[in-house]
């Protein structure tokens, strides 16, 4: 964790303010109308990557007529496992906060392991493979009344899974999603958003219900439907103290490829995203945030539990995966309340360091 302090020293010179055009700025809110560029160098380790290095540039700005912050972010990193990933994530607020557009565009070459499917799969002799992935998705929602939003999503995924072992289970095509494949899906999205801040909420809630379906009619090689419920609540415990809570549930029907199965590590820190995978996942987590406490430095502590399952009878208390950890926060932007997050998390037989812009949820 010693790299944390080196990273924080570098931060003091990595942000640049870009003035907005005069005709879009009100004299009483000059700072809020400015665009801010942030560049975060990262060095971390995780159960998936071992040591990794990269950069996270992000631009935060406001479109004319909207008080909600828009952003464009890129992730670029390379790992000790010879993995690399390029990811672009725009998020735009239009029409005076009534329309939100977000997307994801990525390219990934990702050597990793296949441990099997289920919540008790063995760590012995995982099968190695490399995934080459091109992925694009877009989501658009519109204000439909009060604090509610509704809209549509579309995603495209083209992948090649290249197993190392020619006699392994992936080479034999006994696992759905081996070899070359493409996936196209469309869906409905409903949200309720009462947060007081998009980057660091201290009160309010952010709830999302998404229903997505992949089908051969859309050009997909796979047919399945996924139902995702993400419930987040934020309680203010004082000027700089917040309790954040999240409940997450994802259920699938049909035949998703193994790289699209739900994962414990996609929600709970401290776990590999490929270690425990199955059709469904349920998780809850709490996080106490005190930021800032001293100057721009803050603190966080978190804990959670969850598991993947194929059937409801597999979701047992004795099998739940537990996660806990602590973190440091560095207040990068006072105006937008954007934190740099550095966390260390411990899971079942695994652990990881995480550094990122913005909070985990």
pLDDT in tens, 65-81: 788 899 999 999 999 99
Cis link prior to 292 (omega < 30° from 0)? yes
Give pTM, 2 decimals.
0.86
| Per-residue model confidence as pLDDT tens for the chain (361 residues) | 434 433 443 443 333 333 333 333 333 333 445 788 989 898 888 888 888 999 999 999 998 878 889 999 999 999 999 999 999 999 999 987 799 999 999 999 999 999 999 988 765 778 999 999 999 999 999 999 899 999 999 999 999 999 988 878 888 878 899 889 999 999 999 999 999 999 999 999 999 999 999 999 999 999 999 999 999 999 999 888 999 999 999 999 999 999 999 999 999 999 999 989 999 999 999 999 998 889 999 999 999 999 999 998 888 888 899 999 999 999 988 888 999 999 999 998 888 888 888 999 9
Selection from 108, 15, 97, 115 nearest residue 56 by Cα:
15
Report the length, in residues, of the chain: 361
What are the φ and ψ backbone dihedral angles of 6, each rounded to 5 degrees?
Answer: -65, -40
Selection from 49, 122, 43, 119 nearest residue 80 by Cα:
49
- 84-94 vs 99-114, strand pairing mode: antiparallel
CATH number at residue 7: 2.40.160.50
Per-residue model confidence (pLDDT) at position 122: 67
Residue 21's domain comprises 3-357
What are the φ and ψ backbone dihedral angles of 125, each rounded to 5 degrees?
Answer: 50, 55
Number of compact structural domains in the chain:
1
Per-residue model confidence (pLDDT) at position 123: 59
pLDDT in tens, 40-59: 898 888 888 888 999 999 99
């Amino acid at each position: 964790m010693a790299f944390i302090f080196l990273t924080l020293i570098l931060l003091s010179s990595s942000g640049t303010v870009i003035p907005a055009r005069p005709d879009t700025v009100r004299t009483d809110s000059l700072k809020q109308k400015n665009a801010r560029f942030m560049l975060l160098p990262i060095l971390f380790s995780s159960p998936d990557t071992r040591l990794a290095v990269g950069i996270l540039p992000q631009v935060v700005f406001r479109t004319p007529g909207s008080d909600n912050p828009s952003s464009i972010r890129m992730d670029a990193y390379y790992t000790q496992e010879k993995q690399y990933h390029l990811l672009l994530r725009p998020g735009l607020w239009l029409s005076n906060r009534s329309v939100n557009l977000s997307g994801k565009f990525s390219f990934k070459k990702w050597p990793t392991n296949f441990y099997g499917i289920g919540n008790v799969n063995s760590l012995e002799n995982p099968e190695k493979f490399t995934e080459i992935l091109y992925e694009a998705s877009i989501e658009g929602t519109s204000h439909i009344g009060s604090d509610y939003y509704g809209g549509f999503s579309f995603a495209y995924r083209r992948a090649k899974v290249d197993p190392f072992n020619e006699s392994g289970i992936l080479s034999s095509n006994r696992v759905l999603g081996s070899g070359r494949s493409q996936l196209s899906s469309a869906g409905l999205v409903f949200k309720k958003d009462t947060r007081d801040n998009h980057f660091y909420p201290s009160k309010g809630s952010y709830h999302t219900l998404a229903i997505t379906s992949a089908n051969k009619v859309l050009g997909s090689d796979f047919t399945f439907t996924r139902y995702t419920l993400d419930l987040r609540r934020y309680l203010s415990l004082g000027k700089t103290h917040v309790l954040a809570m999240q409940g997450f549930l994802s259920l699938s029907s049909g035949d998703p490829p193994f790289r699209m199965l739900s994962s414990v590590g996609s929600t709970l820190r401290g776990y590999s995203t490929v270690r425990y995978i199955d059709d469904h996942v349920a998780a809850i987590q709490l996080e106490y945030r005190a930021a800032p406490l001293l100057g721009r430095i803050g603190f966080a502590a978190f804990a959670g539990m969850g598991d993947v399952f194929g059937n409801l009878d597999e979701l047992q208390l004795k099998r739940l995966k537990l996660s806990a950890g602590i973190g440091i926060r560095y207040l990068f932007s006072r105006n937008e309340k954007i934190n740099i997050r550095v966390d260390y998390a411990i899971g079942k037989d695994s652990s990881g360091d995480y550094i990122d812009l913005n909070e985990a949820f």
